[in-house]
Chains A and B, each alone.
Chain A
Amino acid sequence: MAEALEITGTCASPGVAVGRAHVAAETAVGVVPPNDSVATEREKLQQAIMAAVAELQALAERSDEESTGILDFQIEMLLDPALAEMTEERMAAGDGAALAWVEALDRYIAGIEESADEQLRARAIDVVDIRNRVLRALTGRPADDFPPGSVFVGKDLEPSLFLAHDWTAGGGIVLFNGSVSSHVAMLARARSIPMVVATGGFEIQDGERILVEAADARVVVAPDEGRVREANRTAPSMYSADSEPMTATSRTADGIAIRLSAIVNDAAELALIDPALFSGVGLMRTEFLMTSPAEALDEERHYEIYRQALRWAGGAPVTIRMLDLGGDKPLPGVGGKTGESSMGLRGIRFLLARPELARIQARALLRAAARGTLDVLLPMVTVPDELEAMRAIFEAESDALIRRGVEVHMPEIGVMVEVPAAALMLDRFSRSAFFSFGTNDLAQYLMAAAREDQTVATLYDAAAPAVLRLIVQGVAAAEAMNRPIGICGEMASEPRHLPGLLAAGLRHFSVVPNRIADVRSVIAGLRSDGRAQKG
């Protein structure tokens, strides 16, 4: 029997996993080419168009004459080289096929909708249908999914791959590099997937048995049965029985109500969370919902997800953060280059640079807001002008939807406070309906310590006092403006930070779902000024 090989790393998400290793091929490790060539993008689009034509032709074969007329029209449109030409310019300017396609078609559709002829305006929907059909054909499954139940072993793991994978059969993650602050680590913690990072490279065959004891940051290759049994026996259950039944309301020891909302990264998580334990969704990250550019550009896909969150929340408010792309969260084909600076074109800067993308999401948000209490949070806002520019997009899209006879509601639009300059100047954001501290990024910008960089992780951890000082100031500014303010960073899920956050005056916390029991019980033991209850 081969001797067990034991490796240590850093715990990114606790728990025990045992399974067959899926060793990610070196080439498949987070390296989407930063920009596919124009020729490749053109080829992808041509294939998607031909796939859409084939679908329509198959549909036409089993349709009545009236429908065939419409389908014929759509097929003729798709076969017209003018459509591809319209997208060409944008692809030459560096857009991926999906974005170029949607931008060109949206502009074209808007042209038809401006027509004075109602009958012609009615044709717009057929073109919308074409747009979506090709977009769907462009949707590629993220490459290299791995067998359910296996332990992913590789240099790094992309969030999209994590989200596309079925974790219901268990499994875990071991990364040679990686960081506890990475997005995939955040996702793993939210889903209780054991994860160990920074193990350094080690030898392991694909399919070999591997044991992950994440809490101890230990990985064992080819463990013996006794070792596996022992690990499983000592692993604390993630959901230990609570002494008191939990409800949505939480109170400090001195009786002050604290609002606890859920952080949601993936619509699939909703099914696993009991809505009765939360007062709605405090932060829904939309960039992780979209595993491909085609999805990010699909208004209906956005709308469906927002509807799902609203249904989950019942009547409670749901705060959706607009796509936070760029920096360490690139979406191939839409933008944000891998390895781009986390202080570059990302968050709202990216959305304003790609207004088509923002408009698609704004439309879906406006429509969904008519169906429940939906608020919109803008990522990485630095100056008030950015908020104004986004508000203008929402207003323009709202007008256009109303003209089309679509039911919309203007959501409250708030600012995510994660750039130090904004945090210091909250009083200037008079048009922001609410504020929410994003402490993950705030800490990295305050400390000039990239959170994906393991070598400066200690600085990142040491950020708390500086972050707290900014929070104290921010809460005072928001109160003076009579605007709600909360926190949706991971700090709010950490019991050790809760006294400081309460003392700073925060009363609304958005929490990672599997930490809710801890957070609630810690809050119950603290006074609203953050001091421990006596006796």
Chain B
Amino acid sequence: MDHKPRQQTPETTDGYCQTQIEVTHGFGLHARPSVTFTRLARSFPCTVEIEVNDSGVWLSGKSIVKIMGARIRTGSILKIRARGLRASEAIAALKALVERDFDEEKKHGRSA
């Protein structure tokens, strides 16, 4: 699978780059997805925040504690927003990671 983020045009509001995506792989399915997500988020110099199912609460996407606490599950609608240096790149990379089901299947060698 392509590891380079696919170029998409994230929405930009209030200086945020923002995107929305449905989670097809439960975050909770394995501890690893949240590790992968936060590690990727932390690799960018911008802020990264997430909101789950229009809760109105934005949590740090770099905090595994916050992400676990957000109780994301399969079918959850995840909004990701970022602001600062390389914000659009971060959004694209994180969205792609969610779309790839956090690279879980590949790691377990169960790819179809």
Contacts and interface: CB of A to CB of B under 8 A. Distances in A.
Interface of A: 69-70, 72-74, 76-77, 80-83, 86, 108, 111-112, 114-117, 119-123, 126-127
B69 A112 contact: yes
Given A80-B63, A82-B60, A69 B74 contact: no
6 A-B pairs with least C-beta separation: A120-B28, A73-B31, A117-B73, A82-B65, A115-B71, A119-B28
Given A76-B38, A119-B26, A70 B31 contact: yes
A433 B40 CA distance: 57
B27 A80 contact: no
B31 A116 contact: no
Interface of B: 26-32, 34-35, 38-39, 60, 63-66, 68-69, 71-74
Nearest to B72: A120
Nearest to A107: B69
A73 B28 contact: no
A149 B53 CA distance: 66
Contacts of B68: 77, 112, 120, 123, 127
Given A73-B32, A117-B71, A127-B68, 14 more contacts: A73-B64, A76-B64, A77-B68, A80-B63, A83-B65, A86-B65, A111-B69, A112-B68, A112-B69, A116-B73, A117-B73, A119-B29, A120-B71, A123-B31
Nearest to B73: A117
B29 A108 contact: no
A80 B73 contact: no
B64 A80 contact: yes
Contacts of A111: 69, 71
9 contacts: A72-B32, A73-B64, A76-B35, A80-B63, A80-B64, A117-B28, A119-B26, A120-B29, A120-B71
Given A76-B64, A77-B68, A123-B68, A115 B28 contact: yes
A81 B38 CA distance: 13
Contacts of A119: 26, 28-30, 73
Given A69-B31, A70-B31, A120-B27, A82 B66 contact: yes
Contact of A117 (B26, B34, B66): B26
Nearest to A86: B65
Nearest to A114: B71
B69 A73 contact: no
B interface majority secondary structure? helix
Contacts of B72: 120
Contacts of B39: 76
* Majority SS at the chain A contact face: helix
Nearest to B32: A69
Contacts of B60: 82
Given A77-B64, A82-B63, A69 B69 contact: no
A126 B34 CA distance: 13
Give the one of A74, A82, A111, A121 with max B CB within 10 A.
A82
A199 B28 CA distance: 64
Contacts of A82: 60, 63, 65-66
Contacts of B28: 115, 117, 119-123
Nearest to A82: B65
Nearest to A108: B69
Contacts of A114: 71
Q: Which of A69, A74, A120 has the most CB atoms of chain B within a 10 A radius of its CB?
A: A120
Contacts of A70: 31
Nearest to B75: A117
A253 B94 CA distance: 83
B63 A73 contact: no
A73 B72 CA distance: 16
A69 B33 CA distance: 10
Nearest to A73: B31
A104 to B, nearest CB: 10
B71 A72 contact: no
A145 B103 CA distance: 53
A421 B48 CA distance: 59
A73 B37 CA distance: 11
A77 B73 contact: no
Contacts of A77: 64-65, 68
A126 B31 contact: yes
A115 B73 contact: yes
Contacts of B73: 115-117, 119-120
A279 B97 CA distance: 64
Contacts of A74: 31
